[in-house]
């Protein structure tokens, strides 16, 4: 049997149904910004492998980091042991992150880092004598992962996890941030948030949100003033602020961390995706000394979390190399050029009747349609254009590697314009005309 036949028989892909014939394309190799399929076709990658491969694929610097570390040790448990890759990575993350984040807890995926951050907030409140503060407040349209507590702070109505509403903990949801990026935040934009805080603050451990960009919940870009106001309100009500920078961290919005747009520092910050440049799964939870010391002084005197593969040496080594590679590059100029290219290249979609909005920020370009895409029929159209773009819901979006050349970015944008222009609305879906 062929690779794809065996895949269809044995492999269950994310967000897919077995036996339904969803399009799957076999990849033979990847280099730079190109994926080479098993049938010989090459695709320009517009997804950066779900936003993490910021340096592209098969980068010699990152390859060498993995190979060097492999010669020393591939893995060792982190309970009672430590190693240089983890310690030096933690030091570097603290040095780069918003002021006050001084302690690093490693996890093995973005969702797990959100779980750890939420547990950290609850343990902190218990340790300071506030055992009733166990819930979380979050804006609607957010997304924080697929594990149980992470699902509980994803949008319960429009998000991907409606099926689990009766299972996940019940959190407090407020209106999504209304002012768009670059606009001021007015008093009425905070009304829902302030009302919920007045009513529920005694039962809340923290506010959790994605700073500036609500990612998989809708690719919405919101005002930095709103984020600054949330920081002030958390202080007023004695709540921790958790910033989920898994998608936005390491330059995607034009700042190293999206919190920098508002000039604020959270109490807890989660990192993942681009942390290793897309090479290995690794995540980190950064917090303040106050949070760490309060938990450590409370009952049972330690933080109750410990993934088996946390601080994996291979992952930590390649993360260090990825961060150094990013900082040594003209990454801000590259992201700025990508934003300009996306704005120009996607602009023709704005005039299409089935397009609701086109928006760009940093290395993120979004075409929001009036209805969801029929993925099974639309995905192959992008492959036929020689690009890898995977829409979800109503969104056709681009988040390419930072190293993409202008001509390749132009081809990605042209493919979006070509495919989207050929869609029509039918039975509540955007389908090929």
Per-residue pLDDT band at 365 (split at 50, 70, 90)? very high
| pLDDT surpassing 90 at residue 133 | yes
Q: Select which of 226, 273, 397, 408 is catalytic.
A: 273
Per-residue pLDDT band at 178 (split at 50, 70, 90)? very high
pLDDT of residue 381: 98
Closest Cα to residue 213, out of 171, 168, 262? Answer: 262
Distance of CA 399 to the CA centre of its chain: 11
pLDDT of residue 22: 76
Tokens of 344: 């120009």
Q: Where do we find the tokens 């009513």?
A: 199
240-268: pLDDT as tens digits:
999 999 999 999 999 999 999 999 999 99
Residue 308: phi and psi, rounded to 5, are -55, -45
Q: Select which of 143, 222, 226, 279 is catalytic.
A: 143
Per-residue pLDDT band at 417 (split at 50, 70, 90)? very high
Q: Select which of 45, 244, 267, 408 is catalytic.
A: 244
Per-residue pLDDT band at 171 (split at 50, 70, 90)? very high
Q: 424 to each of 22, 352, 378, 389, 429, how far by Cα in Å?
A: 21, 10, 11, 19, 8
Active site residue 244: yes
pLDDT of residue 160: 76
CB neighbours of 301 closer than 8 A, spacing ≥ 6? none
Angle, helix 331-346 to helix 406-421, in steps of 10 degrees: 30
Alpha-carbon gap, residue 123 to 296, rounded angstroms: 9
| pLDDT surpassing 90 at residue 123 | yes
What rounded mean pLDDT belongs to the chain? 96
Which residues are registered as beta bridge partners of 180? 222
Strand-by-strand arrangement of the 101-107 sheet: 101-107, 283-288, 268-271, 240-244, 204-209, 135-139, 172-174
CA angle 158, 160, 165 (to 5 degrees): 80
Distance of CA 50 to the CA centre of its chain: 8
325-339: pLDDT as tens digits:
999 999 999 999 999
Alpha-carbon gap, residue 270 to 301, rounded angstroms: 23
CB 144 within 8 A of CB 150: yes
Active site residue 119: no
Active site residue 15: yes
CB 282 within 8 A of CB 312: yes
The percentage of residues in the chain with a pLDDT greater than 70, rounded to a whole number, is 100
Domains and CATH numbers, the chain: 3-58+330-432 (3.90.1150.10), 64-328 (3.40.640.10)
pLDDT of residue 20: 78
340-364: pLDDT as tens digits:
999 999 999 999 999 999 999 999 9
Tokens of 59: 């980068």
Averaged pLDDT for residues 74-94: 98
Distance of CA 223 to the CA centre of its chain: 18
**CB atoms near residue 329 (< 10 Å):** 15
pLDDT of residue 19: 79
CB neighbours of 352 closer than 8 A, spacing ≥ 6? 420, 421
CB neighbours of 310 closer than 8 A, spacing ≥ 6? 78, 105, 106, 107, 108
Q: 77 to each of 132, 161, 300, 309, 397, how far by Cα in Å?
A: 34, 33, 22, 7, 39
pLDDT of residue 156: 86
Averaged pLDDT for residues 127-148: 96
Averaged pLDDT for residues 311-318: 98
Averaged pLDDT for residues 367-379: 96
Alpha-carbon gap, residue 282 to 278, rounded angstroms: 9
pLDDT of residue 1: 82
Q: Select which of 15, 20, 39, 427 is catalytic.
A: 15
204-209 and 387-388 as β-strands: parallel, antiparallel, unpaired? Answer: unpaired
Active site residue 143: yes
In this structure, is the dihedral angle defined by the CA atoms of residues 91, 95, 98 and 100, taken in order, positive or negative?
A: positive
């Amino acid at each position: 049997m062929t690779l794809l036949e065996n895949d269809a028989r044995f492999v269950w892909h994310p967000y897919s149904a077995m036996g339904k014939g969803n399009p799957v394309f076999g990849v033979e190799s990847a280099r730079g910004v190109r994926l080479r399929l098993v049938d010989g076709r090459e695709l320009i990658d517009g997804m950066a492998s779900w936003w993490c491969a910021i340096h592209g694929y098969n980068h010699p610097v990152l390859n060498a980091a993995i190979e060097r570390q492999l010669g020393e040790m591939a893995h060792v448990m982190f309970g009672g042991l430590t190693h240089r890759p983890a310690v030096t990575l933690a030091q570097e993350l603290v040095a780069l992150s918003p002021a006050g984040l001084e302690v690093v807890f490693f996890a093995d995926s973005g969702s797990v880092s959100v779980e750890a951050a939420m547990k950290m907030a609850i343990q902190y409140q218990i340790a300071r004598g506030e055992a009733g503060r166990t819930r979380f407040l979050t804006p609607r349209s957010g997304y924080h992962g697929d594990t149980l507590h992470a699902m509980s702070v994803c949008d319960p109505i429009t998000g991907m996890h409606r099926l689990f509403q009766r299972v996940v903990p019940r959190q407090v949801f407020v209106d999504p941030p209304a002012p768009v990026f670059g606009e001021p935040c007015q008093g009425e934009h905070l009304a829902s948030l302030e009302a919920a805080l007045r009513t529920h603050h005694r039962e809340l451990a923290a506010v959790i949100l994605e700073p500036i960009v609500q990612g998989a919940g809708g690719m919405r870009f919101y005002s930095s003033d709103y984020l600054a106001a949330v920081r002030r309100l958390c202080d007023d009500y004695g709540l921790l602020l958790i910033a989920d920078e898994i998608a936005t961290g390491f330059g995607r919005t034009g700042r190293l961390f999206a919190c920098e747009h508002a000039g604020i520092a959270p109490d807890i910050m989660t990192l993942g995706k681009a942390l290793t440049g897309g090479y290995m799964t690794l995540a980190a939870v950064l917090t303040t000394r106050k949070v760490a010391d309060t938990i450590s002084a409370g009952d049972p005197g330690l933080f109750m979390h410990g993934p088996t593969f946390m601080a994996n040496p291979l992952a930590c080594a390649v993360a260090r190399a990825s961060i150094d590679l990013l900082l040594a590059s003209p990454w801000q100029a590259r992201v700025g050029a990508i934003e300009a290219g996306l704005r120009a290249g996607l602009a023709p979609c704005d005039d299409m009747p089935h397009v609701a909005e086109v928006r760009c920020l940093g290395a993120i370009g979004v075409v929001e349609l009036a209805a969801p895409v029929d993925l099974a029929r639309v995905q192959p159209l992008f492959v036929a254009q020689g690009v890898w773009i995977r829409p979800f819901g109503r969104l056709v979006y681009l988040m390419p590697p930072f190293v993409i050349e202008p001509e390749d970015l132009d081809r990605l944008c042209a493919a979006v314009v070509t495919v989207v222009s050929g869609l029509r609305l039918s039975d509540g879906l955007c389908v090929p005309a």
